[in-house]
Amino acid sequence: MPDTLSTSNADHSGEEQKYHAFINLALVLAAITGIELVLVYLPINGTFIFATLVSLSLFKFFSVIAWFMHLLYDKLILTLAFVTGLAIASGTVVALMFIMDRGFVDFEAISAF
Amino acid sequence: MSDDAHNNDSHHNLMVDNKKLFMWLFLGSDCMFFGTMISTHLIYRKLYPESFDPTSLFSLELTSFSTFILLMSSFLMALAVSAMHKSDIKSFRRNTLGVIFFGLIFLACQVYEFTEFVHEGLTLKSGTFGSTFFMLTGTHGVHVAIGLFWLTCMYFYSFTGKMDPHESAIDVEVAGLYWHFVDIVWIIIFTVIYLIEFIK
C-alpha cells in the first residue's frame, strides 16, 4: 500500500510539473503569434523577416509536438513513427519547390491545355 | 496464457499502446497529405506570382486571432489529457468544453473569412490561387470539424458513467494528439499562406 501511494504521489507531482510547463508554453506561443503579426509590418529587410518567421513557426511547431503532444515524455518509437512521415512530407515540399522553378517549366505547353 | 493476458499483450506489442502508435502513424501520413497541398499552393504562387494579390483581401488581425484561439485550445486539450491521467473527470469535462468552444470560434472565423472572400470574388473556380487556397484551408477546416465532433462525443460520453478514467485516459490522449496535430498544421499554414504574403 505505501508503494502504491508513493507511485500515485509521484505521478501527480509529474502531472503538476507538466501543468506548469503547459502554462509557460501557452504564454510563449501566444507571445510569438503577437510578434509574428507585428514583424510583417516592420520596414526592415524582407529576407530577415522571412527567416525569422520561418524560425518562429518551426519553434512553435516543434514545441507543441514536444510538450503538448507529450513526445518528449513518450517512447522513441512514437517519435520515429511521426518523424518518418514528417521527413517524407518536408522532403517532398523542398524537392517540388526546386523542381518547379520558372526556368524549368514549359509555360507554352501548359497553356496549350 | 489467459485471455486477459493475451488482450493486454495485443495492446502493448511494442511497449506502447497500439491506439497511440497508430495515431502517430496516421499523423505522419497526414503530414504527407498536407505537405502535398502546401507545395501545390506554393508552386502556383511561384509560377504565377502576378495572378492574384491576396494582401488586399487577407485580414491578418483576424487570422492571428484564429491562430491564438487554436493555440489556446491546444493548451486546454493538454490540460484535459493531464486531468484524465489524474482521474479528475470534472476537470477533464471543463477543459474539453473549453476546447470545443475555442474550436467553434475558430470555425466561425473561417466561415466568416471564406464568406468575405467569396463576396470579393475569390472562389474555388476563380483561378489557381483560389483553388489551392480553398482546398488547403478547407481541408484543414474539415479536420477541425472532425476533431470537434470527436471531442463532443467524448464529452457527452463522460456523463454516461461508462467512462473509466484509468481505461479511457488513452482514448482521450489519442483524441488530444489529433487535436494538437490540427493546431500544428495551422501554425504552418498561418506562416506559409498568410504571413509570407505580407513581406515586402
* CB contacts, 8 Å: B25 with chain A: 81-82, 85
Please tell me the distance from the alpha carbon of residue B27 to that of residue A71, in angstroms, as a whole number. 13
Of B121, B110, B131, give the one whose Cα is nearest residue B190: B110
Sign of the alpha-carbon torsion through B163, B167, B169, B171: negative
Mean of pLDDT over chain B: 91
Complex ipTM, two decimals?
A: 0.89
> pLDDT per residue over B113-145, tens digit each?
999 999 999 999 988 999 999 999 999 999 999
Q: Give Cα separations from B4 to B1, B11, B19, B21 (angstroms).
A: 8, 11, 18, 21
Domain assignment of residue B17, yes or no: no
B27 contacts A85 by C-beta, under 8 angstroms: yes
> pLDDT per residue over B43-74, tens digit each?
999 888 877 889 999 999 999 999 999 999 99
Q: State percent of chain B over pLDDT 70.
A: 93
Domain assignment of residue B23, yes or no: no
What local confidence, expressed as pLDDT, does residue A35 receive?
96
Please tell me the distance from the alpha carbon of residue B175 to that of residue B158, in angstroms, as a whole number. 14
Partner residue opposite B21 with nearest CB, options A54, A78, A93: A78
What local confidence, expressed as pLDDT, does residue B49 receive?
83
What local confidence, expressed as pLDDT, does residue A112 receive?
67
The CATH number linked to B118 is: 1.20.120.80
Which of B31-40, B46-55, B148-157 shows the lowest per-residue confidence on average (mean pLDDT)?
B46-55
Domain assignment of residue B20, yes or no: no
The answer to whether B65 faces chain A, any CB pair under 8 Å, is no
User: Which are the contacts of B196, defined by CB distance < 8 A and separation ≥ 6?
Assistant: A50, A53
Contact pairs from chain A to chain B, CB under 8 Å: 148
What local confidence, expressed as pLDDT, does residue B14 receive?
66
Domain assignment of residue B137, yes or no: yes
Partner residue opposite A15 with nearest CB, options B25, B27, B85: B85
Of B199, B197, B195, give the one whose Cα is nearest residue B186: B195
How far off is chain A from B25, nearest CA to CA, in Å?
5
The answer to whether B108 faces chain A, any CB pair under 8 Å, is no
Q: What is the DSSP string of B95-130?
A: HHHHHHHHHHHHHHHHHHHHHHHHHTT--TTS-HHH
> pLDDT per residue over B69-118, tens digit each?
999 999 999 999 999 999 999 999 999 999 999 999 999 999 999 999 99
pTM of the predicted model as reported, rounded to 2 decimal places: 0.90
What local confidence, expressed as pLDDT, does residue B166 receive?
82
Residue B175: band (very low, low, confident or very high) from pLDDT cuts 50, 70, 90: very high
Domain assignment of residue B1, yes or no: no
Domain assignment of residue B179, yes or no: yes
The answer to whether B177 faces chain A, any CB pair under 8 Å, is yes
Please tell me the distance from the alpha carbon of residue B193 to that of residue B66, in angstroms, as a whole number. 14
Nearest chain B residue to A20 by CA distance is B79
Please tell me the distance from the alpha carbon of residue A92 to that of residue A98, in angstroms, as a whole number. 10
* CB contacts, 8 Å: A72 with chain B: none
Q: Considering all CA atoms of chain A, what is the largest pairwise distance in Å, rounded to the nearest integer? A: 79
- How many independent structural domains does chain B possess? 1
> pLDDT per residue over A1-50, tens digit each?
444 445 555 566 677 788 899 999 999 999 999 999 999 999 989 899 99
Domain of B151, in residue numbers: 71-200
Residue that has been written with the C-alpha cell 509557460 in this structure: A24
The answer to whether A9 faces chain B, any CB pair under 8 Å, is no
The answer to whether A6 faces chain B, any CB pair under 8 Å, is no
> pLDDT per residue over A69-104, tens digit each?
999 989 999 999 999 999 999 999 999 988 887 777
What local confidence, expressed as pLDDT, does residue A8 receive?
55
> pLDDT per residue over A49-77, tens digit each?
999 999 999 999 999 999 999 999 899 99
Domain assignment of residue B44, yes or no: no
